[in-house]
Amino acid sequence: MDKHNSSELLNSDFSLSKNASSDSLDSDSKSSSLNSKHGQDSSHVLGDIQLLDGEKVMGVARDVTYLCPYSGPSRGVLKVTNYQLHFRPTEATALQTTLSVPLGVVSRIEKVGGASSKGENSYGIEVFCKDMRNLRFAHKQENHSRRGIFEKLQQLAFPLSHRLPLFAFSYSESFPEDGWHVYEPITELRRMGVNNDMWRITRINDKYEICDSYPSVWAVPAAANDDLLRSVAAFRSRGRIPVLAWIHPSSQATITRCSQPLVGVSGKRSREDERYIQLIMDANAQAHKLFIMDARPSANAIANKAKGGGYESEDAYQNAELVFLDIHNIHVMRESLRKLKELCFPQIDQTRWFSGIEASCWLKHIKCILAGAVRIVDKVENHKTSVLVHCSDGWDRTAQLTALAMLMLDPYYRTLRGFEVLIEKEWLSFGHKFQLRIGHGDERHSDADRSPVFVQWVDCVWQLQQQFPTAFEFTERLLITIVDHLYSCRFGTFLFNTERERVKEEVKSKTVSLWSYINSRQDLYLNPLYWGPSSFGATTPPSPYSRPQIVLVPVASLRIIKLWKALYCRWNPTMRQQDPIYQRTRELVALRAQLEAAAAAAAGEYAQRHHRMALTPPRVASPHHV
Amino acid sequence: MNEKKVFHNFKSYINEALLNNGDKNGSIQELKPKLLNGELVVGAAHSVVLLTPLSERDSGRFGSLFVTNYKLSFVPLETSQYDEYGQKNHLLGTFDVPLTGVGALWLTDGGPQRRRRLLPYADMPGKVKGLQVICKNMKVMTFSFANSPIGNGRKVAMALIHHAFPKRHDLLFAFEYREPYYPTLPSDLNMFQRPGDWKRELERCECPHWRITCINGTSDAFMLTAGETLIVPSSVLDYNLMESARHFRSGRVPIWVWGRPEGAALLRSGELLPTEQSATAESVLLEQVRRSHPKLSPPRVLYLCGAGGAAPSPHAPHAPHAPPALPALHSLLASHKKLADLCTPTTLPNFWLQDSQYYSILDSSRWLRYVANCLAFADDAASHLMSNITVVLQEGDGVDYCAVVSCLTQLLIDPYFRTISGFQSLIQKEWIALGHPFCDRLGLPRPGPGKEAPAQAPVFLLFLDCTWQLLQQFPAAFQFTDTYLVTLWDCVHNHLFDTFLFNCPRDRDLAVSKNFTPRPVWDWGEQFSEQDKALFYNPLYMINKPIPMTAQRLSMPAVSWRNSRPADDTERLRPCCSVGGVELWALCYERWLPPLDTPHAGRLHFHLHHCRLRAQIQQLTDKLSSLSIMNNRHSNGDEDATESFRIPAVSRFYPFSLNRYDNVTRNLDSMQVSLIDASQLLDSQSLLNAPD
């Protein structure tokens, strides 16, 4: 019997461990399989083109050379579909230069060299991508060989500039779960205990008439009537009035979010706005104070007065304390990431690496955002005081701060589904302008509205994951997948600017949600080391310190904040993590599961035998106990 | 929030002073340090305040400060349960520093803001109000004598400066320590002391074309800084060696340290002296090295410090893509000093100021660049060895970077050295037996008459740092953990042990002949409990491969559970050697910075979770075997015992941070009993490893 057992173990373990490793080999550090359907092995990405449902090949160019910055020039065939740019090398030995890039990541396309350019590979096209890389192709210098493919690329990469639909509207793959149901605003508010004595749900914005960039459902102080809400909307930039983002389950301290007040140079006041803020403060019985966290540097806030905006004066708002969090605007962040890209792609300059990181200021911005979120968490958690967060319009820095603070405060958002809810709620429903910031299908690559605000927030989440490796149910693979599909235009999730536009364009019925895709293969994204409330079970731990941590307080110091190489340097094959730790963990977990099963089976067999022989009563009857 | 808790444990000394001036003075006088056998108190100050590092306000602990011939010891007036580090040292308390661990002393006038460097043998001012001790492991301790009896501060500072920087080697405490020593070294540890030890290594590597010579132990010795045993090409005569040695710095002719059964070998040598015949002498020896290769392939010489001294020999033209040369020792020291400045901020404003220029300071220190370059050299050497080309490392006196690169190369290629025993054997071989001048490099007094001031440089730390980078990049490839490496670095500064106490084996032998008792640091039980030692073992190591044994020969195919590729190729680590791929070793350098230490954070959680998984697996395996032999007693009891493996919450720098949670150790204890010997875990694997 012993022998029988062990050989069985051996066999099943072979398959188990294979799964574990093939799952994680392409995960954790590299790009997730952008174009593959889930379940397909990553090796399929190499070589032949894999068409998605609804994808069509629109153009082919033969005899093209891809100038790979790492493995050198490689000849092959370039194909363009309505979704991707695909390059297949002719040489079987050069398969690692296979490219499959969703056209959504293309930021601009340029012709390089002319028909009379001298030198090898000097004539061709260059594709600049939003995901930190550039692709160079060389064509033969005869018969305008690049013209056809260049025009196709222009047209398909920037469909909106050519009056064509985005690929998400053609994509038709179906998944077992519909990700559009992940977030239901009422359910989420109920989870937080709203309606309650102090907060009520209102549908005053059902037709998006009060505020066209807000969702249709809000939670506001119960004492505020609809007339008050309308008057407050008139005093807040773009009608974005303070509404509830999160409420503390025990202290009732809240995080609310809004846009700047329309104070202007003359220092206008609004009785209604002041009263409304007082109501938010009164909704929390624990404190007689409210913190207004203005995400901007104070100089920027003052400058905004000239444009009719500004900030709350502490004279007008009794018991409110105003704090500036010194986070810079979208233009500064765009420039910072551009510098970082120069540093990370294509080659890493050994002598300029650290000074370059400092000069880009990217990590300093990350530090500012983390520090701001920590201040919010400190007020809410430790001082039981409510916090109102805003910046200028309340859809960039505000979303970063509230979503990050909520992630630190509430373990629910650190689960896979909770994280999806968080993005749907704080980013999508509250109108972060994804279309403007990313520029889906739009050829105006130098548009000043573009900015990596959301990517920067994902980076902050990654920093949290790094600092608290067991606090998240998902791994960095989920974050990278989200960033990939932020650009890819394969799913409807990140299209358009506001909930109103998405409803108008019937996104939910005409496109697939990114969450459908992710939730269909959750196992790829789960953190085997997760140690949260759900993984812990019902038993009370012996001491509060061995309980999973509820509130995360990261250290906002550059000594701890790291550059996310797995995202920014991922195209460089030498920079990949050699042996992702999760792979080993998954192997251990698989081994444990298998031993558990074997033990259960053996116990069952043992019990049965005892039963048959009627020697002793079967004391280990049920395998569930094992 | 938890930061707050820490502050509450400390009392503001100002209030304390007011309260206790009268009645507690008596008890303060009675505080005594724990003394070892042979240890004597040589200076003391009472009513001293140990200031809390990097706190917003001046707060601290009351107590007495002692200087003994072994350590600097602060004894707090009131002990608390939070006074212990996760790792407890039997020889040193929380507030103790061995005297050789004292790096720099600063006089502070009451507060850490205004300070002045106190140099050894310099004049002591009449009044000492405060003293700041910067340890070699980057810990900072600041004492205030504002409440002490007059003259106490000066007295203790005098004693410290006198005893922490002794003029003679035999004044070190290792020569005074009277505790008897009963060695319990593991049997698979190769100390490389006797010819037989080297023979074992030669046999393990299966290199028949090399021979052992003991000429260096005779009166004809030519390589005075190395041990008596050397391994050289079998075709070379001792006479030739002695002749050629005249042309190499420190007589460092190329000597064998490692080899492959296929024929390629790894050799170390010093640079050539600018004598007329030196190039000829080198080519003659390299020719012998070539003949020791079964395929007669010519060796490749890697010039670690650039081709500087040596003219490129016809055998080994300088490689065009060689990594950048490693720095001169004084540049390495300067680099480490900048790194230390970055990691030892003394005030909170200074901490945040450094934070705002963190990367430019890090860049200007160049430390990580040197780390990357060492890795690049090792990767280069490993590539040659894997393509069966013999590699000769050449550098200065052949005792510094040669050791670093040679060790790293062997770590990359030979899995045996990635075990704890293997790693310790590797250090014995490359650093101890082949004579890295630890005294000189660590700034200890030289045994015997020293001529010029020898170069001080943290070469060994550079090696540990490089090893840590490999641990980072290959989390499952090493049996030891970063806790082990950090502990090892701490022990380098504990001069109770002889391992890092001498410049060369000759000096050690001389001391032993004068009744000195050598205590190898590898006897970890001298310092740590089983529970602390458990943290040295990596739970991820060799999950699915058998542990390489000393006895196992290189050519024996490693029985691989999953894949059947040739052992060589799978065992070779290919590290990322770019500056972009290396990281600052935070656990070692930044563990004393309280603002960075947060509960529930840090990589140790990986360790704990994996330990729990392995413990559960072990338990399930036991259960399975007990079920299969129909053992009734075992199968009844502990169905839910897996639940007992709770994961303790630890903070980022555990076990080097102060213990804030009483239950941590207990939990660790219950989990790690089965992890002490990782080979035990093979039992759980034996089912799986069994051939079908």
Return the sign of the alpha-carbon dihedral for residues B681, B683, B685, B686: positive
At residue A10, does pLDDT exceed 60?
no
* Nearest CB to A595 within list B598, B620, B629: B620
Q: What is the CATH number of the domain that holds B288?
A: 3.90.190.10
For residue B546, being part of any structural domain is answered with no
Query: Inter-chain contact A625–B639, Cβ cutoff 8 Å?
Result: yes
Residue A99 has pLDDT above 90, yes or no: yes
Report the pLDDT value the prediction gives residue A54, as an integer from 0 to 100.
93
Nearest to A354 among B362, B623, B630 (CB): B362
Domain total for chain B? 1
A391 is catalytic: yes
Give tens-digit pLDDT for B193-234: 999 999 999 999 999 899 999 999 888 899 999 999 999 999
Q: pLDDT at position B657, please?
A: 79
- Virtual torsion, Cα B335, B340, B343, B345, nearest 10 deg: -120
Statement: residue B368 has pLDDT above 70:
yes
Query: Chain B, 508-527: which have a CB under 8 Å from a chain A CB?
Result: none
DSSP string, B556-593: SPP--SS--S-HHHHH------SGGG----HHHHSTT-
How far apart (Å, rounded) are the C-alpha atoms in residues A552 and A619?
Answer: 44
Q: In B, residues 587-626, which contact A (CB 8 Å cutoff)?
A: 590, 593, 595-596, 598-603, 605-606, 609-610, 613-614, 616-617, 620-621, 623-624
Q: What is the DSSP letter of A424?
A: I
Give this complex's ipTM.
0.87
Instruction: Give the pLDDT band (50/70/90) at residue B601.
Output: confident
Inter-chain contact A558–B632, Cβ cutoff 8 Å? no
A179 annotated to a ligand binding site: no
Q: Is the pLDDT of residue A132 over 60?
A: yes
Q: Is there a contact between A545 and B648 if contact means CB atoms under 8 Å apart?
A: yes
Among A481, A490, A493, CA closest to A518? A481
Q: What's the token pair of residue A572? A: 């460089």
Query: What pLDDT, on a 0 to 100 scale, did the predictor assign at position A119?
Result: 84
Q: What is the pLDDT of residue A593?
A: 87
- In total, chain B counts a number of residues equal to 692
User: Is B288 inside a domain boundary?
Assistant: yes
Which of A10, A354, A602 shows the shortest C-beta gap to B688? A10
**Which of B324, B606, B632 lies nearest to residue A469, judging by beta carbons?**
B606
pLDDT digits (tens, 9 = 90+) for B266-311: 999 999 998 888 889 999 999 999 999 999 999 999 999 976 544 4
B96 assigned to some structural domain = no
User: Model confidence over A406-424: pLDDT tens digits?
Assistant: 999 999 999 999 999 999 9
Tokens for A584, please give them. 């080993």
Q: What confidence score (pLDDT) does residue B3 get?
A: 40
Smallest CA–CA distance, residue A289 to chain B, in Å, is: 20
Task: Kindly state whether B575 is in contact with chain A, defined as any CB-CB distance less than 8 angstroms.
Answer: yes
Chain B environment of A616 (Cβ under 8 Å): 632
Give alpha helix (H) positions in A206-352: 226-235, 271-282, 298-305, 330-344
Closest of A521, A613, A600 to residue A33, by C-alpha: A521
pLDDT over threshold 70, residue A526? yes
Residue A367 in tokens: 């530090």
For residues A360-381, one letter each, b for 16 or more C-beta atoms within 10 angstroms of the residue's C-beta and e for the rest, the string is: bbbbbbbbbbbbbbbbbbbbbb
pLDDT at A470 over 70: yes
Q: What is the pLDDT of residues A293-333, one digit of tens each?
A: 999 999 999 999 999 999 999 999 989 999 999 999 999 99
Confidence at B78, pLDDT banded by 50, 70, 90: confident
Q: b/e map of B626-657 (b: 16 or more CB within 10 Å)?
A: bbbeeeeeebeeeeeebeebbbbbbbbbbbbb
pLDDT above 90: residue A120: no
Kindly report the number of other CB atoms within 10 A of residue B409's CB atom: 26
pLDDT interval class at A504 (50, 70, 90): very high
Q: How far is CA A374 from CA A286, A404, A590, A603, B62, in A?
A: 20, 9, 37, 50, 33
Tokens matching residue B241 = 């060696």
Q: How far apart are CA B365 and CA B375, in angstroms?
A: 18
Would you state the pLDDT for residue A602? 81
Strands B71-76 and A72-81 come out as: unpaired
Q: Chain B contacts of A364, Cβ < 8 Å?
A: 356
Q: What angle do CA B75, B80, B85 make, to 5 degrees?
A: 80
Q: Is A513 annotated as a binding residue?
A: no
How many Cβ pairs closer than 8 A exist between chain A and B? 209
Across A235-239, A252-256, A540-544, least confident range: A540-544
B401 to chain A, closest Cα gap in Å: 21
pLDDT at A5 over 80: no
The pLDDT of residue B135: 95
Residue B8, pLDDT score: 42
Terminal-residue alpha carbon distance, chain A: 20
| DSSP secondary structure letter of residue A562 | -
Mean pLDDT of chain A: 87
B238-270 tens-digit pLDDT: 999 999 999 999 999 999 999 999 999 999 999
The residue count for chain A: 626
pLDDT of residue B276: 86
Residues A50 and A84: beta-carbon distance below 8 Å: no
- Give yes or no for residue B42 having a pLDDT over 60: yes
Alpha helices in A415-541 (DSSP H): 416-422, 434-438, 453-467, 476-488, 499-504, 507-510, 514-520, 533-536
Mean pLDDT of A571-577: 81
> With bands split at pLDDT 50, 70 and 90, how would you rate the model's confidence at B544?
low
Residue B34 in any domain: the answer is: no
Beta carbons of A558 and B356 less than 8 Å apart: yes
Q: Within a domain: residue B85?
A: no
Query: Does the annotation place A319 within a ligand binding site?
Result: no
- CB of B562 less than 8 A from some CB of A: yes
d(C-alpha A77, C-alpha A38), whole Å: 25
Residue tagged active-site, from A368, A391, A489, A569? A391
Do the beta carbons of residue A326 and residue B328 sit within 8 Å? no
Helix residue ranges, H only, A27-163: 147-157
Q: Are strands B41-51 and B60-68 parallel, antiparallel or unpaired?
A: antiparallel
Where along chain A do its domains lie? 2-27+581-625, 46-157, 179-575
**Set of chain B residues whose Cβ sits within 8 Å of the Cβ of A382:** 1
pLDDT score, position B655: 83
Torsion of CA A436, A442, A446, A451, to 10 degrees: 30
The residue-averaged pLDDT of A548-571 equals 91
Distance CA A165, CA A162 (A): 9
Predicted confidence band of residue B660 (pLDDT cuts 50, 70, 90): low
pLDDT of residue B110 exceeding 90, the answer is: no
Examine residue B1 and state whether it is found in any structural domain, yes or no: no
- Note the CATH number of domain A46-157: 2.30.29.30
Comparing alpha-carbon positions, the chain B residue that sits nearest to A357 is: B359
Could you tell me if residue B375 is inside a domain? yes
Question: Which strand (E) or helix (H) includes residue B238?
Answer: helix B238-245
Contact A471 B600 (CB under 8 A): yes
* pLDDT tens-digit readout, B619-631: 888 888 777 665 4
CA distance B343 to B684: 43
Q: Which of A17, A382, A542 sits opposite B1 (nearest CB)?
A: A382
Question: Does A306 carry a binding-site annotation?
Answer: yes
Is A307 labelled a binding residue?
yes
The answer to the question of whether A212 is labelled as a binding residue is no
Domain holding B376, by residue range, is 195-327+366-475
> Among the listed ranges B139-143, B167-171, B384-388, which one has the minimum average pLDDT value?
B167-171
What does the alpha-carbon distance between residue A214 and residue A231 come to, in Å, rounded to a whole number? 16
Nearest CB to A355: which of B363, B372, B576? B363
Does residue B622 sit within a domain?
A: no
Band (pLDDT 50/70/90 cuts) for residue A579 is low
C-alpha dihedral sign at A156, A158, A163, A169: positive
Q: Which residues of B touch A21 (CB under 8 A)?
A: 562
Per-residue pLDDT, B397: 92
Distance in angstroms (rounded) separating the CA atoms of residues A111 and A127: 9
Q: What is the pLDDT of residue B311?
A: 41
Residue B647 to residue A531, Cβ atoms within 8 A: yes
pLDDT above 90: residue A360 = yes
What residues in A contact B543, CB-CB < 8 Å?
Answer: 584, 587-588, 591
In this structure, the number of other CB atoms found within 10 A of the CB of residue A625 comes to 11
**A182 is written with which tokens?**
């992940």
Contact flag A354-B628 (C-beta cutoff 8 Å): no
Residues 463-502 of B with CB under 8 A from A: 473-477
Read off the tokens for B539.
């739970």
Is A353 part of any known ligand binding site? no
Q: A353 to chain B: which residues are within 8 Å by CB?
A: 363, 579-580
pLDDT of residue A578: 56
The mean-pLDDT minimum among A136-145, B11-20, B609-618 falls in: B11-20
Contact partners, residue B425, CB within 8 Å, separation at least 6: B188, B189, B190, B191, B192, B417, B550
pLDDT at res. B321: 65
